[in-house]
Structure 1
Amino acid sequence: MPWCKKEDTTNAIITAKRNMQSSHHDVKMIQKLPEIAILFFIGKAIPYVLRTYECDELSAKFPRFLNPCPIYRFKNMEACFLDGGRGAPQAADTLETLAELGVKTIISVGMIGAFHPAFHVGDILIPSHALAEEGTSHHYYEDLIFAYPAHPLWEELKNLLPQAKSEPIVSCDAIYRQTLRKEEQWRRQGCVGVDMETSAIMSIGNYRHLQTAAILMVSDVHSHETEHCAWEWKVTDAMREAFTRTCISCVQRLSSDKEITK
């Protein structure tokens, strides 16, 4: 049963713009942001970035509806960054709010659990598309199976990160229902790994006419054989930090290219 009906042309009860203007927030309104934003879906990424790069805090409370957090700007490039949250609803909330503040290009940086034998912990993946098994996207589209990145941005990222692989993934928000049978079904649909946000970033990005794409690092892998299916977290802090630096370097080059072509 579709959750989004084409004939429903009624207004939303709350929008990102109305939320920003409401008394829900007690900090100074952000007027405008750089056109490029990085959304980190890695718990330790923001503290590491702040220790490693020169940044300015733009606001102590980014005015999204769910769990406002600080938002920062790099001093040496036209890009801002913040924690994207956890799961599709918070990712959508963050993206909608960024769009209202002038952001046009959003790069999602996060982790993915792989269930394909060709992938290993530490591999970098730029998803070609994402099977939408999270619930949020289906309130934007009546009939959605796969969500796709903005093709020009996806191509740029692949050129900037030639070591990255590009395959389909699945986004699912039922953390404890990633069963062996479901993984087999996902593999039949071409998917190599699972996260919680990418399909929502892509689908809502398309809905809001934004350029969106994801860069993901494999954090854990397990065999699809029943007797070897035990899950274990394998990624290290050093791997996370190296991946974060790689992504920021990529965005820095992307930002420079955009400045040159203006």
Structure 2
Amino acid sequence: MPFPNHPTKHDSTPLVTPQRSSEYKTERSDEELEKPPKAVILVYSRSLMKYLVETHDGRAIDHYFGDCYAFADTDHTVGVVGNFGIGAPTTAMLMDDLIADGVEAFLSVGFAGSLDESIAMGDLIVCEEAIRDEGTSHHYAESEKYAFPSDSLTTETKRLLERRDDRFHAGTSWTIDAIYRETEAEVRRYAEEGVLTVEMEASAVFAVADYRGVEAGSMFVISDYLGLSEWEPRFHLTAEDMHHLGETAKEILASYVD
């Protein structure tokens, strides 16, 4: 059976569009709705969202699913969206809504499990390609193994990290919907292929951005290690690393849209 199930899915016209949804929202409002920032950090950690909003002056834009906040020191051209949950489907829906209202670039940041024990806690991961083991991306692009970030945004990300002398690794991530179905066989296979991390959003973020003609990249910090004999969760040790990740993403996007 092909996936998606309908064989001509990608040649068919969608019934509901982000543009129509935006129009409906505007029609139902008694006042003009504020536009989102030009570039947005996608944040899945509630604690990181809280940190960024409390640390930086700005303004809330309150008509999206989750919370949207624009930073004052970027003249409100860069912002952050969070508190909308985790995973590919919700992220894709939110991206579509934001793109319809003018967002041109996304930097997706969050936790990732490491398949490579040589990666140190605190090192940043720049995703150069993502294995499409989630369902959402396949509704935006023909089914293939990988989805790819925007070359220009990924290059800018690595350039800034190198200029700051940050420790980082660049490579492949495995994106999967089902966190409790990451099996030993899959971990072994992907580790042998040199895959660095596993997470839940990157491949969908890349597929949506490519389909809609906008820019997208992704970065992670390591939250746990997926060895074949033992799982080592270290989420409790990552607070400062996550703050550094969020600040780095803000700096990258501010430079990118400048």
Deviation (angstroms), 1:96? 0.8
Q: Distance in 1 between matches of 2:169 and 2:249?
A: 14
- Give the TM-score, by structure 2 length: 0.87
- Give the TM-score, by structure 1 length: 0.86
Partner of 2:128: 128
Deviations 1:224-252 (A, max 9, x none): 3x2x3454534332332233223223333
RMSD between superposed Cα atoms in Å: 2.3
From the superposition, tell whether residues 29 and 90 of structure 1 become closer, same or farther in structure 2 (CA, over 3 Å).
Answer: farther
Q: Distance in 2 between matches of 1:240 and 1:8?
A: 37
Q: Distance in 1 between matches of 2:10 and 2:246?
A: 41
For structure 2, list consecutive stretches of 5 or more residues without a partner in the other structure.
Answer: none
Partner of 1:104: 104
Deviation (angstroms), 1:142? 2.4
**Conserved 8 A contact 2:115-2:187:** yes
From the superposition, tell whether residues 23 and 166 of structure 1 become closer, same or farther in structure 2 (CA, over 3 Å).
Answer: closer
Q: Distance in 2 between matches of 1:34 and 1:89?
A: 22
Aligned length in residues: 248
**Conserved 8 A contact 2:153-2:256:** no
From the superposition, tell whether residues 218 and 20 of structure 1 become closer, same or farther in structure 2 (CA, over 3 Å).
Answer: same
Partner of 2:247: 245
SS at match of 1:18: helix
For structure 1, list consecutive stretches of 5 or more residues without a partner in the other structure.
Answer: 63-67
Q: Distance in 1 between matches of 2:149 and 2:193?
A: 18
Deviations 1:27-46 (A, max 9, x none): 55635333211111222112
Q: Distance in 1 between matches of 2:198 and 2:239?
A: 21
Deviations 1:109-152 (A, max 9, x none): 11111121221222201111000101001112222210001111
Q: Distance in 2 between matches of 1:29 and 1:170?
A: 41
Check if 1:54 corresponds to 2:57.
Answer: yes
Deviation (angstroms), 1:57? 1.1
Partner of 1:14: 16
Partner of 1:140: 140
Name the structure with the higher strand share. 2
Check if 1:35 corresponds to 2:32.
Answer: no
Q: Identity rate of aligned residues, in percent? A: 23
SS at match of 1:86: coil
Q: Which amino acid aligns with 1:30?
A: L
From the superposition, tell whether residues 128 and 136 of structure 1 become closer, same or farther in structure 2 (CA, over 3 Å).
Answer: same
From the superposition, tell whether residues 252 and 231 of structure 1 become closer, same or farther in structure 2 (CA, over 3 Å).
Answer: same
Runs of 4+ aligned structure 1 residues displaced above 4 Å come to 23-29
Deviation (angstroms), 1:5? 3.6
